[in-house]
Structure 1
Amino acid sequence: MDLQINFVLPHWFYWSVLLVLPLVVMLFVDRSFRRGGTVSGATTGGAPAAEQDTDYHPPGNALTRVIDKVSGFTGRYVAYWSLIAPLVYCYEVFVRYALNSPTNWAHESMFLMFGMQYLLAGAFALREGGHVRVDILYVRAKPLTKAALDIMTSVFFFIFTVALITTGWTFFSQSVNQEIFFFGQGYANETSFTEWSVQYYPVKFTLVLGGVLLLLQGIAQLIKDIQAFGHARARHEGSSTFAWLLVLLGIVLALYALHEVVNVVVNDYESFPLSIENSLANVSIGTLTALMFGTLMLVLVAGLPLAFVTGGLGVVFLYLVGDQFMLNLIPSRIFPMMTNYQLSAIPLFIFMAAVLEKAGLIEELFDTVYKWMGGLKAGLAIATVVASTLLAAMVGVIGAAVVTMGLIALPAMLKRHYDPEIAIGSIMAGGTLGILIPPSILAIIYGVVAQQSVGELYLGSLIPGLLLAAMYGFYCWLRGAINPKAAPPLPVEDRVSTREKLRLLRNMLAPIILVIVVLGVIFTGLATPVEAAGIGTFGALIVSAMHGRLTWPNLHAACMTTLVATAMVMWIIFGATIFVGFYILQGGQEFVQELISGAGLGPYGVLMVMMVLLVALGMFLDWVGILLLAVPIFVPLIQPLSFDGLFGLPGVDAANVSLWFGVIYLVNMQMSFLSPPFGYALFYIKGVCPPHITMAQIFKSSLPFLGIQALGLLLVILFPALITYLPNLVYR
């Protein structure tokens, strides 16, 4: 059929939908809650559950309550935009293949919408505690020390947000229509380069508005931190001397930052006495490397969320090495990321997972696999790995997979007297399969950063992911065979007939077909990963409706879960792209390359150094932070190297090196999640474990599976065809 529909979405209709639709959805959601509507399933987040002091919650004041309400309303408002994307992408795929009428406006309207959503959601994520912090020392500090650290490190947060607002305003003002607005010289009504020609200034304005909302929420948080400090000091919960030193340091840093702000406002080409502007202009790249990454580690362990650590330090070093005009790099680094087409798959896949979870399909999935495989030795642990593999194909988010399986599978195994180490280890290892099994969120971000095809990464990671799942399952079976008491099979009286098994399997046909369709359209090239995510989300809504769970409360919960998880990921990207982008601009990439090549290591030696560094980073950094900090430096170093094979085994074709390294990186990230003492999966599972399960037991349970992951990493290095076979078969 070739009807050639030439419909182009009117600009006024696009902006009207974004403005009005959330208000309409709010009316339906609130009405449903007033009539007794409830949320199905459990809420699973993407951030690890930190051990927090729950005895005291700062009350805030009238100002903080107003700010919290503003952030809450704004977050909820933009969260409902996610409901639009599945419809738009399904429309695009339909008109392209059924009517031979592809569009540009469908893609452009959605990645611009998501870009605005990321920026405006930052304040809501901060209010909800959704921004990931590195809890190495912070979580172990006394309440007084914690509050003092929060006050002191907030200086870097405010440096980042103020710089974002001021440079974002300049960035925005250069894109407006000068006949309507009065901002001096700029582009005359800057529009996109497609036939849709949508105005860019509303999108760029969200850099300013998002920064203002984040600044306000930061002020509210600072007020609460001061209240927490006063409460802890009155109760003598920590060293008062050390805490006051931290607060004093924060005050000094804040005053000096204010001094520099006045310097920027008053002076253009000259600086005040004692100003630090341009003070590091002549330092060597080696010294700059030590300063940048040394201060990064210090502020990280102090507990500031990763996004604001990298963003704040990026601003500081832009100012120290360059000058105030170099700060305009900030929006020019963030804007391409917030409007990146590939990254818009992230909220869609998270939304798909949230909808399926609210539909109760995750619990049904485990129940089906559990009854099919429970009769085997260590059957419940094997069922957990199998269910985690299928869940990974639905979710692609590590935290959600580990927490969900911890809530469902762990009580079932402990009830049947499983060794806690086998039970916990199988959940953590199975949950981390979401890094490898498509549709992996990490693979999407890697593809964007490394300029690698996401479809090829998905195909390349499929065999390694299934191989690791099989190795996990075999290990569980072996432990059950050696010691049946440690992992007993399901009692005979609890097993079900073949007829019942088939009935259970029939209930899972819809979600299984959904996964096959999503991955199928990606692997066959019929749709991009972003379009596949849109189709999958639309399918998830249909499956949810089939199960009677497509309710307004469930849609609300899915939208809010998606918003917090996506904002966490994207704000880390925004902060890291400033920090790493500046470092590379200063010659950091060449410095690291010369440092490694000067060590006289061969290609595999260089690869080994990178693997060790990634595992080390994984002990205290989250997966997005590692990717944004390491991959832009590592990929250009690895691409020109020749990997001819080890021990006489086949090597890697030069055209496949980037793909091969990408999947090796993904396997390595699985190890980082399980690496004691700070692997994130260890804390995900701790948040859902019974109180009698100690961190020592969790650490011990991770070690065998960590060894299996190391073996898997070795296998994909020695046998590159495990990665390259499927992509070469489909794409070459």
Structure 2
Amino acid sequence: MLETYELIVIALMASFILLIFTGYPIAWVLAGVSFWFVVIALWGAETLDWDTFMLDRWIRFSVIVDRIWSQMQNSVLVALPNFIFMGIMLDKSGVAEKLMQAFTRLFGSLQGGLAISVCAIGILLAASTGIVGASVVLLATLSLPLMMAYGYSRQLATGVVAASGTLGILIPPSIMLVIMADQLAMSVGDLFMGAMIPGLLLGALYIVYVVVISNVSRGVAPHPPDAPKVTLGLVLEALRAMAAPAALILAVLGSIFFGIATATEASAVGAFGAMLLALINRRLDWRTIKDVCYGTASTTAFIMAIFLGASAFALVMRSLGGDEFIAHMLKSLPFGPDGIIIVILAIAFVAGFFLDWLEISLIFLPLVAPVVRALGYDPVWFVVVFAVMLQTSFLTPPVGFSLFYVKGVAPKEIETRDIYLGVLPFVAIQLLVVFLVFEFAEIALWLPREVYGAAAR
């Protein structure tokens, strides 16, 4: 029979899930549920009188304030606005337009060449921006009208744009990995290196899928009849277009990987580098700076509001014994250690249909991470495989944000059904990478081991 605290924990989680569908901002839902369940829990406690009850409640809430204040002082989170600024500034710098023009000419004569170009640019943008919304919108704006004009399948065109644009949440520098590292007190550099190979593998499999489907079903991705043949000049043009983002990637990730700078310091280098690229391309003016600053402030405020609400929610959950309850439930499963990990990943996959990666990372991940450590799994490996699974949340309806981004800027002839059907093969590819990282842990652990000369910490 369930204990009283267990019933309160279940009611807390159920209330949060139900209130999500009311349409209220998720940050206020988290904070509001936390407030009322502290009151409910204390009201049910054996308090002697009203004064004792009020004092106990004040102590509980003061702990929440202290937790929020300590998180606001965390220097690791300074990397968030810097990486966001870098991503938005890079999207306005004109680098992506040059890449699209060069790659379209280079791959245009191939079957599915335009879709291959989108995948390649998506990988480069992911390694230099990390902002999914900006990448998806930019790729859709640049490539969808072109692919529609050349007779591409609407499903393939929208699917490849939505999937390629989400690579930035996994390939470093990733704000998701920064937040995960902060929540679990892990090294950002370890997670960046651990996610590098799985992220590149995912992008490569996208390209393989495009090549296969384009040659098997030739009508879905025809090559333009006027596309130029591949020449040394086109290759050099593509390399020149890649030089700027490659230099930014080297400055940011190279400084982290080689121990020159921390992730926070490297994020400042990236923000400054993005401004230099915009200046070189003559895209840096007062209006651009103002728009980028507004966008950075808005996105950072959105993330931090959820961050604070989730912190209060997690603290109340732990105060009610929710972490012990979840740990007991997972350990009591009759599946063995690997089975428990599969259940955790399955829950994360299903939760991605209704929640954003941010809520899952802030609420669910800290609750299951101690169980994973107790089972003896490498925390870097688990966080990486968990992050790959969370990437599906951008492509799974009804709240897949990449789907909304594509629909918002897609040509009128593209319907929502086309987008939903178009992303299904790419969700399957994401699940395949989850399986590969799950079965072959070295995919996530080899690079950190090579850099540090020992197992990832």
1:288 aligns with 2:18: no
CA distance in 2, matches of 1:725, 1:462: 10
CA distance in 2, matches of 1:576, 1:526: 33
Map of 2:57 onto structure 1 = 324
Q: 1:585 aligns with which of 310, 319, 323?
A: 319
Map of 1:458 onto structure 2 = 192
Q: Give per-residue Cα distances to partners, 1:313-365, cap 9 Å, x unaligned.
A: 11111222235312223321211222211111111011011111222112222
Q: Give per-residue Cα distances to partners, 1:84-122, cap 9 Å, x unaligned.
A: xxxxxxxxxxxxxxxxxxxxxxxxxxxxxxxxxxxxxxx
How many aligned positions are there?
Answer: 438
Structure 1 SS opposite 2:267: helix
Q: Which has the higher contact order (CA 8 A, sep 6+)?
A: 2
Map of 1:678 onto structure 2 = 399
> Any residues of structure 2 matched to 1:310-709 within 5 Å, and which?
310-322=30-42, 323-325=56-58, 326-494=60-228, 497-642=231-376, 657-709=378-430
The answer (yes or no) to whether the contact 2:91–2:135 under 8 Å persists in 1 is no
Q: CA deviation at 1:493?
A: 4.3
CA distance in 2, matches of 1:448, 1:366: 35
CA distance in 2, matches of 1:680, 1:510: 29
Map of 2:52 onto structure 1 = none
| Percentage of matched positions with identical amino acids | 37
CA distance in 1, matches of 2:80, 2:102: 28
Of 357-366 and 315-324, the range deviating more from structure 2: 315-324
Structure 1 SS opposite 2:410: coil
> Any residues of structure 2 matched to 1:171-190 within 5 Å, and which?
none
Q: CA deviation at 1:491?
A: 2.7
Q: Give per-residue Cα distances to partners, 1:400-450, cap 9 Å, x unaligned.
A: 211211111111111111001111111111111112111011000000001
> Any residues of structure 2 matched to 1:8-27 within 5 Å, and which?
none
Map of 2:53 onto structure 1 = none
TM-score by length of 2: 0.92
CA distance in 2, matches of 1:580, 1:546: 46
CA distance in 1, matches of 2:329, 2:242: 53
Q: Which has the larger radius of gyration?
A: 1
CA distance in 1, matches of 2:66, 2:100: 46
Structure 2 SS opposite 1:639: helix
Structure 1 SS opposite 2:341: helix
Q: Give per-residue Cα distances to partners, 1:102-157, cap 9 Å, x unaligned.
A: xxxxxxxxxxxxxxxxxxxxxxxxxxxxxxxxxxxxxxxxxxxxxxxxxxxxxxxx
Map of 2:18 onto structure 1 = 298
The answer (yes or no) to whether the contact 1:371–1:501 under 8 Å persists in 2 is no
> Any residues of structure 2 matched to 1:37-436 within 5 Å, and which?
284-322=4-42, 323-325=56-58, 326-436=60-170
CA distance in 2, matches of 1:493, 1:444: 42
CA distance in 1, matches of 2:105, 2:315: 51
The answer (yes or no) to whether the contact 2:9–2:320 under 8 Å persists in 1 is no
Q: Give per-residue Cα distances to partners, 1:650-684, cap 9 Å, x unaligned.
A: xxxx5xx1000010011001122222333222222
Q: CA deviation at 1:500?
A: 4.4
Give, as a single letter, the amino acid of the residue that structure 2 aligns with 1:708: I
The answer (yes or no) to whether the contact 1:370–1:380 under 8 Å persists in 2 is yes
Structure 2 SS opposite 1:687: helix
Kindly indicate which of the two structures has a greater share of residues assigned to helix: 2
Structure 2 SS opposite 1:429: helix
CA distance in 1, matches of 2:400, 2:88: 24
CA distance in 2, matches of 1:508, 1:548: 18
Give, as a single letter, the amino acid of the residue that structure 1 aligns with 2:444: I
Structure 2 SS opposite 1:394: coil
CA distance in 2, matches of 1:688, 1:591: 45
The alpha-carbon distance between structure 1 residues 503 and 618, as it changes in their structure 2 partners (threshold 3 A), is: same
Map of 1:710 onto structure 2 = 431
CA distance in 2, matches of 1:505, 1:304: 47
The answer (yes or no) to whether the contact 2:102–2:237 under 8 Å persists in 1 is no
Give, as a single letter, the amino acid of the residue that structure 2 aligns with 1:686: K
Structure 2 SS opposite 1:418: coil
Q: Give per-residue Cα distances to partners, 1:46-104, cap 9 Å, x unaligned.
A: xxxxxxxxxxxxxxxxxxxxxxxxxxxxxxxxxxxxxxxxxxxxxxxxxxxxxxxxxxx
CA distance in 2, matches of 1:507, 1:691: 31
CA distance in 2, matches of 1:285, 1:539: 52
Q: CA deviation at 1:495?
A: 5.4
CA distance in 2, matches of 1:435, 1:359: 20
Q: CA deviation at 1:709?
A: 1.0
Give, as a single letter, the amino acid of the residue that structure 2 aligns with 1:527: A
CA distance in 2, matches of 1:515, 1:680: 25
Q: Give per-residue Cα distances to partners, 1:354-409, cap 9 Å, x unaligned.
A: 11122211222222222222222111111111100000011112222112111111
The alpha-carbon distance between structure 1 residues 500 and 381, as it changes in their structure 2 partners (threshold 3 A), is: closer
CA distance in 2, matches of 1:616, 1:521: 37
CA distance in 2, matches of 1:434, 1:545: 24
CA distance in 1, matches of 2:314, 2:272: 36
CA distance in 1, matches of 2:178, 2:302: 16
The answer (yes or no) to whether the contact 2:109–2:230 under 8 Å persists in 1 is no
The answer (yes or no) to whether the contact 1:319–1:327 under 8 Å persists in 2 is no
CA distance in 2, matches of 1:476, 1:293: 41
Give, as a single letter, the amino acid of the residue that structure 2 aligns with 1:316: W
CA distance in 2, matches of 1:676, 1:415: 27
Give, as a single letter, the amino acid of the residue that structure 2 aligns with 1:314: S
Structure 1 SS opposite 2:151: coil
CA distance in 1, matches of 2:227, 2:383: 47
